[in-house]
Amino acid sequence: MPKLEAPTPGTLLGTSAAIFLIRFFPTLASVVALVWLARTMPAGYYGRYQSFWVQWQVLHAVACLGLPTLVLTYSGAQARGLWQAARPAHRAALAGWVLLLAGGFAGLQGWGGSAFAPWQAGVFLALHVPIAILEAYALGQRQFRAVAAGSVGYAGLFMLAHGLLVNKVIASEQLLTGLLLASALRLGALGYLAGRGPAGMPPLAPGAWPAVRGHWAHTAFNDVVQVLFRWVDKLALNLLLPAALFALYFNGTLDVPFLPLLLGAAGSGLLLHFGAPGLTDAERLATLRAAATLLGQLVFPLCCFLLFFRCELFGVVFAHRYDAAVPLFVVSSLVVPLRAYNFTALLQHKGQGRRISRGALLDLVLALALIYPLYRLLGLPGVALAFVLSTYAQAGYYLRHTARLLRVPWVSLVPWEAWAGQLLSATLGVGLGHGLLAAWLPERPALLAGAAALGLWLAGQLWRARRAGQ
Instruction: For 161-193, give the secondary structure using H, E and C.
Output: HHHHHHCCCCCHHHHHHHHHHHHHHHHHHHHHH
* Residue 374 pLDDT grade (very low, low, confident, very high; cuts 50, 70, 90): very high
Report the pLDDT averaged over residues 359-388. Answer: 88
Decide which of 128 and 196 is more confident. Answer: 128
* Closest to 27 measured CA to CA, from 368, 280, 263: 263
Question: Which amino acid makes up residue 193?
Answer: L
Give the Å distances, CA to CA, from 317 to 144, 147, 195. 32, 31, 43
> Could you give the CA distance from residue 387 to residue 391 in angstroms, rounded to a whole number?
6
For residues 322 and 254, the answer to whether their CB atoms sit within 8 Å is no
* Residue 3 pLDDT grade (very low, low, confident, very high; cuts 50, 70, 90): very low
* Residue 31 pLDDT grade (very low, low, confident, very high; cuts 50, 70, 90): confident
pLDDT confidence of residue 288 = 83
- Top-confidence range, 76-90, 146-160, 229-243, 272-286: 146-160
Report the pLDDT averaged over residues 85-114. Answer: 84
Average pLDDT, the chain: 81
* Closest to 161 measured CA to CA, from 70, 348, 251, 30: 30
For residues 18 and 8, the answer to whether their CB atoms sit within 8 Å is no
pLDDT confidence of residue 197 = 59
> Could you give the CA distance from residue 60 to residue 54 in angstroms, rounded to a whole number?
10
Burial of residue 332 (CB within 10 Å: 0-12, 13-18, 19+) is buried
pLDDT confidence of residue 5 = 36
pLDDT in tens, 392-418: 999 999 999 988 888 889 898 999 999
pLDDT confidence of residue 267 = 63
Q: Which runs of consecutive H residues, i.e. helices, occur in 167-280? A: 172-195, 209-240, 243-252, 259-274
> Could you give the CA distance from residue 225 to residue 241 in angstroms, rounded to a whole number?
23
* Residue 450 pLDDT grade (very low, low, confident, very high; cuts 50, 70, 90): very high
Report the pLDDT averaged over residues 435-450. Answer: 92
Give the Å distances, CA to CA, from 402 to 107, 134, 259, 281, 287. 42, 30, 23, 11, 14
Distance from first CA to last CA of the chain, Å, rounded? 30
> Could you give the CA distance from residue 140 to residue 441 in angstroms, rounded to a whole number?
48
Report the pLDDT averaged over residues 75-95. Answer: 72
- Top-confidence range, 202-216, 247-261, 350-364: 350-364
For 255, half-sphere exposure in the C-beta direction (CA atoms, 13 angstrom radius) is 20
142: left (phi over 0), alpha (psi -120 to 50) or beta: left
Give the Å distances, CA to CA, from 52 to 58, 59, 134, 156. 10, 11, 24, 21
State yes or no: pLDDT of 277 exceeds 80: no
> Could you give the CA distance from residue 24 to residue 30 in angstroms, rounded to a whole number?
10
For residues 276 and 8, the answer to whether their CB atoms sit within 8 Å is yes
pLDDT confidence of residue 81 = 65
For 424, half-sphere exposure in the C-beta direction (CA atoms, 13 angstrom radius) is 6
pLDDT confidence of residue 2 = 35
pLDDT confidence of residue 453 = 92
For residues 437 and 444, the answer to whether their CB atoms sit within 8 Å is no
Question: Which amino acid makes up residue 338?
Answer: L
Indicate the length of the chain as a whole number.
470
DSSP summary character for residue 77: H
For residues 271 and 8, the answer to whether their CB atoms sit within 8 Å is no
State yes or no: pLDDT of 13 exceeds 60: no
For residues 172 and 115, the answer to whether their CB atoms sit within 8 Å is yes
| CA quadruple 154, 155, 161, 162: dihedral, nearest 10 | 150
pLDDT in tens, 308-325: 999 998 888 888 888 888
* Predicted structure pTM score: 0.69
Decide which of 31 and 254 is more confident. Answer: 31
State yes or no: pLDDT of 447 exceeds 90: yes
**Lowest-confidence region among 176-180, 256-260, 290-294:** 256-260
* Residue 266 pLDDT grade (very low, low, confident, very high; cuts 50, 70, 90): low
For residues 78 and 1, the answer to whether their CB atoms sit within 8 Å is yes
